[in-house]
Amino acid sequence: MHSGSVSNDFFGAPSLDYDAWRDAVRTICGRYSPGGIDPEAFSGRARARNICGFKTVDVSFNARRLERTHRDVRADAVDHYYVLFQMIGRSMIVQNDRTTELDVGGVALVDAALPTTYLAEAGGHWASLQLSRRSVTSHLGSEPRCPCEGRGATAARLLRQLLHEGVENGASTSADAYMRLVIYDLTGALFAPFEGKDVLRHTDKLFARICAIVRDGFADPAFGPGDVADQAGISLRYLQKLFTQRNSTCTQFINAVRLDHALALLKRRSALRTSQSISDIAYASGYSDYTNFHRRFRCRFGQTPGSIGGEGRGGSDGMELAAR
């Protein structure tokens, strides 16, 4: 499993003693303490890389046990998951009173924010991918119970190959955004729970939060689905999937919120007989192009903005007439 240039580079690196390994790992991914071995006899390696904008970590050591305590978790204050691959040897992961055993090629999802014990064969090698908690939860549809063993040989093989053969990159590229979607999709294929009431409840809660994000941001003409996905901490693809399940799109929902707001302002304008122009109402509702606003409004409500409340207030403004 450790053939290839990437692994050869890793195993060709100098071996670290007990203190140097702990310091290196602490810098890379947090506090972990090897056990079950005389510190003088300890040797190991540790390396971090950046693949498609994700941190990946390779570690190896000859200890029989690796501990991450409550104190370690509090001191690190991290909030992410690891997709952990067993590259060489065998191990058992104990977390949350749950255990998962890994053989070569096995994969598990581990919560870095919980105490963990790793029981391992001496000389083991693990490769891991660090993923944010919010993004993982959004893609899986619920909080996973860790350690969670992956299902699906094809997804595991493809994700392992990305870690194993991926080329480290410095500056982010446009292709990285697409590769990140691939990685999250493969993670979902490995660890997504079976559909159930808990998953549906989480999805409904997430969608309600997305709707609230839209209602907070719709007045900005530049606001779009990409902004919604960023604020919700999910991929644009997953955002669109949530709307497709409800026979709509995010763009349609944003426009509906904008037009409903415009309608409310127009009714208020008529009732209070204010001098607010229709073009100002269009802009306040998130439309910088009045013609586009007029067309969408008429399509949705079957009448022009100027006809709302009648003409008694003083008639349509110039923009209304120009749009006809």
Equal fold, 5-191 vs 196-324: no
User: Which of 273, 265, 280, 289 is closest to 317 using CA atoms?
Assistant: 280
Is pLDDT larger for residue 175 or for residue 274? 274
Query: Average pLDDT in the 71-75 region?
Result: 93
Residue 169 above 60 pLDDT?
no
Confidence band, pLDDT 50/70/90 cuts, at residue 288: very high
Residue 201 above 90 pLDDT?
no
β-pairing, 107-111 vs 54-61, is unpaired
State the pLDDT at residue 195. Answer: 54
Letter string b/e over residues 247-275, b meaning 16 or more CB atoms within 10 A of that residue's CB: eeebeebbbebbbebbbebbeebeeeeee
Residue 193 above 80 pLDDT?
no
Confidence band, pLDDT 50/70/90 cuts, at residue 56: very high
Among 39-48, 88-97, 199-208, 288-297, the minimum mean pLDDT is found in 199-208
With beta carbons less than 8 A apart as the criterion, state whether 240 and 249 touch: yes
Residue 182 above 60 pLDDT?
yes
Query: Average pLDDT in the 135-145 region?
Result: 73
Q: Position of tokens 């808990």?
A: 198
In a 13 Å sphere around the CA of 220, the CA atoms on its Cβ side amount to 11
Residue 161 above 80 pLDDT?
yes
Residue 175 above 50 pLDDT?
yes
State the pLDDT at residue 145. Answer: 73
Q: What is the pTM of this model?
A: 0.61
State the pLDDT at residue 318. Answer: 47
Residue 142 above 60 pLDDT?
yes
* 3-class secondary-structure state, position 184: helix
d(CA 154, CA 152): 6
State the pLDDT at residue 7. Answer: 55
The residue ranges of every structural domain in the chain are 5-191, 196-324
Confidence band, pLDDT 50/70/90 cuts, at residue 255: very high
Q: CA of 62: how far to CAs of 18, 35, 120, 273, in Å?
A: 10, 10, 9, 80
Confidence band, pLDDT 50/70/90 cuts, at residue 206: confident
Mean pLDDT of the chain: 84
d(CA 45, CA 33): 14
Q: What is the DSSP-derived secondary structure letter of residue 98?
A: E
Question: How do the residues of the chain divide into helix, strand and coil, expressed in percent and rounded to 5?
Answer: 50, 20, 30
d(CA 6, CA 279): 60
d(CA 155, CA 216): 37
Among 78-87, 136-145, 250-259, the minimum mean pLDDT is found in 136-145
Q: What is the DSSP-derived secondary structure letter of residue 233?
A: T
State the pLDDT at residue 313. Answer: 44
State the pLDDT at residue 155. Answer: 86
Residue 311 above 50 pLDDT?
no
Give residue 42's identity as a one-letter amino acid code.
F
d(CA 175, CA 144): 29
Query: Average pLDDT in the 143-169 region?
Result: 78
What count of other Cβ atoms lies within 10 Å of the Cβ of residue 20?
15
Residue 132 above 90 pLDDT?
no
With beta carbons less than 8 A apart as the criterion, state whether 42 and 61 touch: yes
d(CA 232, CA 213): 8
Residue 3 above 60 pLDDT?
no
Residue 49: strand pairing partners? 56
Query: Average pLDDT in the 22-45 region?
Result: 94
User: Which of 42, 9, 46, 10 is closest to 28 using CA atoms?
Assistant: 46
Per CATH, the homologous superfamily of domain 5-191 is: Jelly Rolls (2.60.120.10)
State the pLDDT at residue 138. Answer: 72
With beta carbons less than 8 A apart as the criterion, state whether 86 and 105 touch: yes
Confidence band, pLDDT 50/70/90 cuts, at residue 152: confident
Confidence band, pLDDT 50/70/90 cuts, at residue 320: low
Peptide bond into 221 cis (omega under 30): no
One-character DSSP codes across 253-321: HHHHHHHHHHHHHHHHHHHHT----HHHHHHHTT-S-HHHHHHHHHHHHSS-GGGTT-STTT---HHHH
Per CATH, the homologous superfamily of domain 196-324 is: Homeodomain-like (1.10.10.60)
